[in-house]
Amino acid sequence: MTTVLILAVLILVAIAIWQMTKIFELSQHSTKNTQVANDADNKYNGYLMFAFLIFIYWITIFCFWKYWKVLLPEAASEHGQDYDLLMLVSMVIIFIVQVITQTLLQYFAYKYYGKTGKRALFYADNDRLEFIWTIIPVITLAGLILYGLYTWTNIMDVNDEGDPLIVELYGQQYNWTARYAGEDNVLGLANVRMIDIDKANVLGLDESDTYAADDVLVKELHLPVGRKVNFKIRSQDVLHSAYMPHFRAQMNAVPGMITEFAFTPTITTEDMRQKPDIIDKVKRTNEIRAERAANGEENSDPWEFDYILLCNKICGKSHYNMQMKIIVESPEAYAAWIADQKTFAETVMADDTQPTTNTTEEEVTAAR
Ligand SMILES: [Cu+2]
């Protein structure tokens, strides 16, 4: 209540000051102060236009210089190169057009500022000029769109060619679980109705499905470098989005359906850590962390670079914390790691004394 009163008083005081200024202005019988711009006003505005031109290019150059280093490092997946090239080509074209048009706009506003007695040239139309400034954007945009569509189709083509590794990414508020398809490289059936927390069957795998027995559930994603991975993405509750920025990959996780994305990792975690821009990023981050440590603040442990899977849909209050570490390693290291993991049969089906699932055959078929 006090806040409302204070606000009301402040607003009333502001109105009073504004009204008093008005009265003061009206009492000054100045003949100079007309509402029509004179030569001095026009000149002043012309110079302001020119100053604005200098300002926007100064700030553009400054931002490039200052913030270039916070951009993502080079893409760590095969399609990521194409993705980055498309982005670069689009941005360079936009940048060139922007520089030319903005410069002309601001410069002419400065050059032709109003002067008494000077009249604007009446120029009705020019077919040739209009043809030129229509056809150039048409060709450029058509080219960009075709190039974009071509890249998009290539990136979004999820197929089984080249013996891909099949991995499920399962999102729920607020964590990710990854499921490897095991020896058979076929994921077992799963349905939200078969989730059994008591038995730690958190993904609702169908225990009667033989393909499910060798599936491996993990909380850290390991990927062999150079092998294509087909991701099958599911959500238990709300919309999530599996986002792997270093691999230029993102796909929504939608309850009730399986979405897909495929990529081939090309740089191991170890190799990525040796890249100069990553070394620099880690150094900069750890300097900030050391400062925090000195002040006794939280989140001050030294940081080491890792690939990461994030959720990129605001899915609830702990959304920011929904992430999973990704490790890209040599095929040998990956094979050793996966051999070390327990299968679904070893963890859940082993102590399957009394089946608790009452899912009907129809429901299983529907889930398929
Ligand atoms: Cu989420």
DSSP, residue by residue, 261-291: EEE-B-S-HHHHHTSHHHHHHHHHHHHHHHH
pLDDT of res. 37:
80
pLDDT of res. 213:
74
98 CA to centre of ligand 1 in angstroms: 37
Pairing mode, strands 307-311 and 249-253:
unpaired
Q: Beta-carbon neighbour count of residue 299 at 10 Å? A: 9
| Burial class for 102, CB neighbours closer than 10 Å (0-12, 13-18, 19+) | middle
352 CA to centre of ligand 1 in angstroms: 31
Distance of alpha carbon 226 from alpha carbon 268, whole angstroms: 9
307 CA to centre of ligand 1 in angstroms: 18
250 CA to centre of ligand 1 in angstroms: 13
Location of structure tokens 């000149």: 43
What's phi and psi for 253, nearest 5 deg?
A: -105, 115
321 CA to centre of ligand 1 in angstroms: 9
Grouping H, G, I as helix, E, B as strand and the rest as coil, residue 353 is: coil
173 CA to centre of ligand 1 in angstroms: 6
Q: Contact, 211 vs 187, CB < 8 A?
A: yes
pLDDT of res. 29:
64
Location of structure tokens 């931002």: 63
Sheet of 240-244, strand order: 221-224, 323-329, 307-311, 240-244, 249-253
Q: Contact, 249 vs 77, CB < 8 A?
A: yes
316 CA to centre of ligand 1 in angstroms: 7
pTM: 0.76
356 closest CA partner among 237, 215, 192, 195: 195
240 CA to centre of ligand 1 in angstroms: 4
Pairing mode, strands 175-180 and 165-172:
antiparallel
Per-residue pLDDT of the chain (368 residues), as tens digits, is 788 999 999 999 999 999 998 888 877 766 566 678 888 888 999 999 989 989 999 999 999 999 988 899 999 999 999 999 999 999 999 999 999 999 999 999 888 888 888 888 888 889 999 999 999 999 999 999 999 999 999 999 888 888 899 999 999 999 999 999 888 888 877 777 877 777 777 777 777 777 777 888 889 999 999 999 999 999 988 999 999 999 999 999 999 899 999 999 999 999 999 999 999 999 999 999 999 989 888 878 889 999 999 999 999 999 999 999 999 999 999 999 988 888 777 777 655 444 444 444 444 444 44
pLDDT of res. 124:
85
Distance of alpha carbon 236 from alpha carbon 173, whole angstroms: 8
